[in-house]
Amino acid sequence: MTLRATYSPRTIEAAELLGARIRLGRRERHWTLEGLAERVGVGVVTMRKIEQGDPSVRLGAVFEAANLTGVTLFDQDPSRLSLESDRIHDRLALLPSRIRKPKEVDDAF
> Up-side HSE of residue 63: CA atoms within 13 Å toward CB?
5
Residues found in the chain: 109
- Distances 53 to 19, 21, 23, 65, 91 between C-alpha atoms, Å: 5, 10, 10, 12, 31
pLDDT per position as a tens digit, 4-46? 789 999 999 999 999 999 999 999 999 999 999 999 999 999 9
pLDDT 10s digits, 58-84: 999 999 999 999 998 887 777 888 888
Determine what percent of the chain is predicted with pLDDT higher than 70: 96
Name the nearest CA neighbour of 37 among 72, 64, 17: 64
Choice between 55 and 85, residue whose per-residue pLDDT is larger:
55
CATH of domain 9-94: 1.10.260.40
